[in-house]
Structure 1
Amino acid sequence: MADHPDFEASAKPIAASVEASSLRDQLATIRLALATSPIRKQLLWACLGIVAVIVATSIGQVLLNRWNEPFYDALARRDMQGFLHQLLVFAAIAGGLVVLNVGQTWLDQTIRLKLREALTVDLIGEWMRPARAFRLANAGAIGVNPDQRLQQDAGHLSDLSTGLGIGLLQSFILLVSFVGVLWSLSSGFVFHVGGYSLAIPGYMVWAAILYAGTASWLSWLVGRPLIRFNSDRYTREAELRSSVVRVNENVDAIALAHGEADARRRLELDLGTVLGAMRRIYSAQINLSWVTDTYGWITVVAPILVASPVYFAGDISFGGLMMAVGAFNQVHSSLRWFINNIGGIADWRATLMRVADFRIALVETDVLHHTERRIEFGENPDGRLTFENLEVASRDGCTKLAEPHVEIRAGERVMITGDPRAGKTLFFRAIAGLWPWGSGRIGMPAGEVPAFVPRKPYFPLGTLREVLDHADAAVSDAEISAVLAE
């Protein structure tokens, strides 16, 4: 029996081609992974705990800001007794903040650990569903180097999400806590210009919003290309690691063929693409530094410049000035969270895209090409293996057997032959159920589990029992002992 390729020019490619999804889809798939995780309750309690700690820390920082006025006024009056009393107050507030900061660090690390566990376990579970890993490997670029997405990208996404999320929450709570303080402090600010008095309600609040908003807009404008550059770098790093692993697995063949020079050129080429991607990132980061560093230095004097007209007009004391400056710095630092983290946000966005698109591809692998024809699988009660009008679809067309009806009975030996690249490997994958796309019917012997031998043998690491269980062999411990005793 021989098989002959019968290619059809109109045949559609079977490989799944998953395009980059939207941000909403990416966030939705990560949320689903966390919602179905067995450790979701532990993760939720840790998140609630850190919210409570951040709220308590914000209260302590408000108290510390209020402490500024009596402390600096005591210095201005040269009041030693009041100065010493304020030092004791500071020690109490600072001691409480130290305890809260240590608790926040512990909760931060706990969330990172639990988040990575939840994401990685979910990805491994989806990847190891029957035949999914195989189908994804034949699904185009999304299935290349899944090890990086499972190990490095999932861990990096957990760290970035935790750090950025806690920072954003902390900035928001600080903003809510201090914006009222700054508004009340600047409500009495009156500007005297040319004999006229001008009062601007919440003057310093509007100044902080305008200042931080301008810096945020410029930072996003300059730093936005980092999303694309970071994603490209992770892809190039995965290709380099894959090449190194491939060379390491074939060192014997390379040495026997004296192919070290070719292997080195391949590795150097992959390294060159990584270095090129890194250069683009560094160039973008340098451009971003011009914006962030400039605003960072201006911020040193900005709050004093904003409040100085009112101070020199004699409307507030020195202690009131320092309290207003402290509140302005807190509000401004909360508003400039985006500026300080634009690089991390771009990195998070790129990593989220890689992890989420990988999970989406895993889930959709089983439903992709649902409009394509599929091979029908059935069972034959008389122990025969049959093929009825079998055609196996591939990227190049369709491969079919020369005979429309093939029947193989128990004990018969059959050799499948064909021209090179005729699709023999794909044919056997179809028999094993790994490649369901095509048409016709495959009838397997009923009540029997066929054994398929891959081109490259694989045995899991572990005990002999674990190896036999992996192969679905119904072998008892007594049978194993009898064989080993022979």
Structure 2
Amino acid sequence: MHALISLFAENWHLFRLYFVSEERFYARIMFFVLIIMELMTIGLDVLLTYWSKNFLNALQNYDQSAFFHSLLQFCFLAATIIIISVHKTYLSQTLLLYWRRWMTNDFLKRYLDHHAYYEMSFMKNNRQNIQDRNDNPDQRISSDISIYIISIFELTIGLLSTCVSLVCYVILLWSLSGVIKINFTQNLSCSVRGIMVWAALVYAGLGTIITNLIGRVLFHLKYEQEHCEANFRYGLVRLRDHAESIAFYRSESNEQTSLSTLYLELITNFRRIIHRKLALNWFDSFYTTTARVFPYLVASHRYFSKQITFGHLEQIATAFSSVHSALSFIPNSYETIVQWRSATKRLTEFEYTLNELQLAKQNSKIKFIYVSNEQSTHIENLTIQLPLKIGENDGQILIKHLNLVLEPHQAVLITGKTGSGKSTFLRTLAGIWPHGSGMITFPLGDTVAFVPQKAYCPLGSLRHCLTYPSISFSSIEEDKKIRNILNLCQMKYWSNNLDEVQDWSRVLSLGEQQKMAFIRILYLRPKWLFLDEVTSSLDEQAETYLYSILMQELANHSTIISIGHRNNLRQFHQLELVLNDGNVTMMSI
């Protein structure tokens, strides 16, 4: 019971997000109009049962005038039903489209805010009822949101339609059921009113109970299937993204084994779903097929005793079918309910993770201050740690109690053995590593650029790739500027390909991608520049040349902080920051 209450509470939170958003006015209007249309559809269906009774009676009585009169009535009914049905479908699809667009943007914004996408890649689980909170967030955004919205919409409208239909058709069926007298002995009998209603309640109630007993395990299996599908797809994406490395290692057999293992998990779980659905389909087929003849069987006594006409019998069967369908909402919607529960759980877990990451960021003891009329960057009492769990700061200490002032136009080289915390130090300054304590003060209004070791190549044209993350538009002056920088960085041969769209991470070599990073730096000209081994894929000659260009262009404009291992870089810096077992030593070069 507690789990059911928790499920509905979580679902209510997800459901209301869109209807209290900035688009709530249009969302509520569309939803309200759809409810009105659904109610009109139910009303027209009830009218059709009366029309059907009169139409069949006209046929049975060979009444031609009543027959044509019924046909005329049908034309008006059919026209109304068609108009409502078409517009209901259009409005439903429009609402689902807007709903999905808003919800996707909302989750995507929170996923990108506060670098949640980055921290999620290495966070550790500290919640027992979540198996893997780093379980393919891309699928949760691209697929689970769509599944959730479609399923919850169908279930909400379906449940509303079921409740209203149940009331309307129970009243109708009760009025058509009459009174059945059951004789137990010669002197003992019992009159039962609304026998058709009671029969529908018993039949549908048994169907619901048995369906849930057979199919409830599908909820867990469906959740696991989404997990397995996402893992297999991610494995294939990694194979594509690391194709060259795998080819060099000649490790196709290892990848085959790894992917086969993931696919085996997928197939094994899917086989369990098939076996469970086999049992469920056996019962469902029996339940649905029997329901076709059941109302005729119960009402046959009154028909053969000539208490009702053939038209009445058909109306009773139609009303019984509608009551039975309403009462069988759970069995009939079981597959949708399974999808809804699975999507709700995955989205709830994802939202919990995003909220927890945001809370951890807000509670971080590393504070950033931006001061106007300030020229230097101040680092005060900075301690950096590796987290044991998200939101906790009691892991291994990488840097402790660092106090440092970075002056304008300085060039500082950060060195230290592998794992000493050099890259994590830059992550902390960039604000994407919240684990630790201290205060960092930047000059307000100064442009800051952090350049990682592996350059990122966004999708799009080469121009967009070279000027990322700024947005560059094609113009004579802009193209001339980019071509001059290409020439400076020894990549002139790409000058005529600025508008070409490619997957540039595959087209450009690692060395060219690191040259591209220098092109971006010279294009953006930031006041504070932090470089994380940006020449590791280049030979010393290219490294010397590019750093010479960098100093020539930005030495009197920018403060440059570099991480590197080669002694070759020392000639371009005035100070060296050495990291060793949590201690930091500053020395002149």
TM-score normalised by length of structure 2 = 0.71
Write 1 or 2 for the structure with the bigger share of strand.
2
Residue 36 of structure 1, CA deviation: 4.6
Note closer, same or farther for the CA distance 1:253–1:53 as it changes in structure 2 (3 Å cut).
Answer: same
TM-score normalised by length of structure 1 = 0.85
Residue 267 of structure 1, CA deviation: 1.4
Opposite residue 273 of structure 1, the aligned amino acid is: E
Q: Indicate the SS of the match to 1:137.
A: coil
- Partner in structure 1 of residue 167 of structure 2: 176
Residue 37 of structure 1, CA deviation: 3.8
Q: Indicate the SS of the match to 2:224.
A: helix
Residue 422 of structure 1, CA deviation: 4.3
- Partner in structure 1 of residue 89 of structure 2: 105
Instruction: Say if 2:358 is the partner of 1:366.
Output: yes
Opposite residue 142 of structure 2, the aligned amino acid is: Q
- Partner in structure 1 of residue 15 of structure 2: 31
User: What is the distance in 1 between the residues matched to 2:297 and 2:174?
Assistant: 17
**CA distances 1:366-400 after superposition (whole Å, capped 9, x unpaired):** 114877x6224446845144352523242282223
Identity score, percent: 29
Note closer, same or farther for the CA distance 1:367–1:332 as it changes in structure 2 (3 Å cut).
Answer: same
Q: Which region of structure 1 is more displaced relative to structure 2, 212-221 or 430-439?
A: 430-439
Do the aligned partners of 1:174 and 1:334 also contact (CA within 8 Å) in 2? yes
TM alignment of 1:77-92, pairs within 5 A: 77-92=61-76
Q: Which region of structure 1 is more displaced relative to structure 2, 323-332 or 457-466?
A: 457-466
Which of the two has higher C-alpha Rg? 2
Q: Which region of structure 1 is more displaced relative to structure 2, 147-156 or 73-82?
A: 73-82
User: What is the distance in 2 between the residues matched to 1:422 and 1:202?
Assistant: 81
User: What is the distance in 2 between the residues matched to 1:394 and 1:443?
Assistant: 23
Instruction: Say if 2:167 is the partner of 1:167.
Output: no
- Partner in structure 2 of residue 155 of structure 1: 146
1:40 to 14, 24, 46: 24
- Partner in structure 1 of residue 80 of structure 2: 96
Instruction: Say if 2:202 is the partner of 1:210.
Output: yes
Q: Which region of structure 1 is more displaced relative to structure 2, 280-289 or 26-35?
A: 26-35
- Partner in structure 2 of residue 55 of structure 1: 39
1:119 to 103, 110, 123: 103
Residue 131 of structure 1, CA deviation: 1.7
Residue 264 of structure 1, CA deviation: 1.7
Q: Which region of structure 1 is more displaced relative to structure 2, 223-232 or 183-192?
A: 183-192
Instruction: Say if 2:383 is the partner of 1:390.
Output: yes
User: What is the distance in 1 between the residues matched to 2:251 and 2:471?
Assistant: 41
Note closer, same or farther for the CA distance 1:92–1:32 as it changes in structure 2 (3 Å cut).
Answer: closer
Do the aligned partners of 2:361 and 2:434 also contact (CA within 8 Å) in 1? no
- Partner in structure 2 of residue 413 of structure 1: 412
User: What is the distance in 1 between the residues matched to 2:479 and 2:57?
Assistant: 88
Structure 2 runs not aligned, ≥5 long = 125-131, 389-393, 485-589
- Partner in structure 2 of residue 319 of structure 1: 311
Instruction: Say if 2:255 is the partner of 1:263.
Output: yes
Opposite residue 139 of structure 2, the aligned amino acid is: Q
Instruction: Say if 2:135 is the partner of 1:144.
Output: yes
Residue 61 of structure 1, CA deviation: 1.3
User: What is the distance in 1 between the residues matched to 2:377 and 2:301?
Assistant: 96
Structure 1 runs not aligned, ≥5 long = 1-19
Note closer, same or farther for the CA distance 1:194–1:448 as it changes in structure 2 (3 Å cut).
Answer: same
Instruction: Say if 2:57 is the partner of 1:73.
Output: yes
Instruction: Say if 2:456 is the partner of 1:458.
Output: yes
Note closer, same or farther for the CA distance 1:447–1:61 as it changes in structure 2 (3 Å cut).
Answer: closer
Residue 464 of structure 1, CA deviation: 8.4
Residue 414 of structure 1, CA deviation: 2.8
What number of residue pairs does the alignment pair up? 465
Note closer, same or farther for the CA distance 1:249–1:299 as it changes in structure 2 (3 Å cut).
Answer: same
Instruction: Say if 2:14 is the partner of 1:22.
Output: no
Q: Which region of structure 1 is more displaced relative to structure 2, 463-472 or 172-181?
A: 463-472
Q: Indicate the SS of the match to 1:142.
A: coil
- Partner in structure 1 of residue 536 of structure 2: none
Note closer, same or farther for the CA distance 1:186–1:75 as it changes in structure 2 (3 Å cut).
Answer: same
Q: Indicate the SS of the match to 2:311.
A: helix
Q: Indicate the SS of the match to 2:412.
A: coil
**CA distances 1:65-118 after superposition (whole Å, capped 9, x unpaired):** 112333333333333443343333334333432333222222232232222212
Q: Higher relative CO (CA 8 A, sep ≥ 6), structure 1 or 2?
A: 1
Residue 148 of structure 1, CA deviation: 0.6
